[in-house]
Amino acid sequence: MPLTLRHAIFDDAAALLAWRNDAVTRAQSRQSGEIGWDDHCRWLARVIGDPDCLFLIGCFGPQPCGFVRFNRDAAKDLWEVSIAVTPAQRGHGLGRRLLPAAIDVLRAGHPGARVLAAVRSGNQASEALFRRCGFRPAPSTEEFLHFMLEA
């Protein structure tokens, strides 16, 4: 079945929260605590309506399998990327398909967009994903490694 992308909608809230609150996902996130339903719903409503956010859901048929979200930092002239796949899809190479497809969507609307990825030190799977997708190491001053995909 082919992988497709669609824009996130509010009906995705429960699935997105479950993915976000998964223990493996939380361990790699900047904020590792669990997120509550009300806070999640307020956040999702805000980002879905934000022109500086591109939030895409990857699907196999009607079944969501992961997401890619880009948040624009106009001051730095870049988009920071977040990616997650469902726990059931981990380890099957889905990220290698999902990330390039989402970058194509981003660049269709924002030609030449530069993309920044922040990866927690020690997250070898994410580091390998970004490197395979053409991202190069960039300076970092935090506990996260940075990778940049230039235009």
Farthest-apart Cα atoms in the chain, separation: 41
Instruction: Compute the distance between CA of residue 82 and CA of residue 25 in angstroms, rounded to an integer.
Output: 11
State the residue for tokens 């999702």.
Answer: 44
Domain count, the chain: 1
Q: State residue 27's pLDDT score.
A: 66
Asked if residue 68 has pLDDT above 90, the reply is yes
Percent of the chain predicted with pLDDT > 70: 99
- Looking up residue 43, the CATH number of its domain turns out to be 3.40.630.30
Q: What mean pLDDT value characterizes the chain?
A: 91
The least confident of 26-30, 38-42, 97-101 is: 26-30
What does residue 130 show for φ and ψ, rounded to 5 degrees? -65, -40
B/e letters for 34-65, b = 16+ CB within 10 Å, e = fewer, are ebeeeebeeebeeeeeeeeebbbbbbeeeebb
The model's pTM is 0.92
pLDDT band at 44 (very low <50, low <70, confident <90, very high): very high
Owning domain of residue 118: 3-149
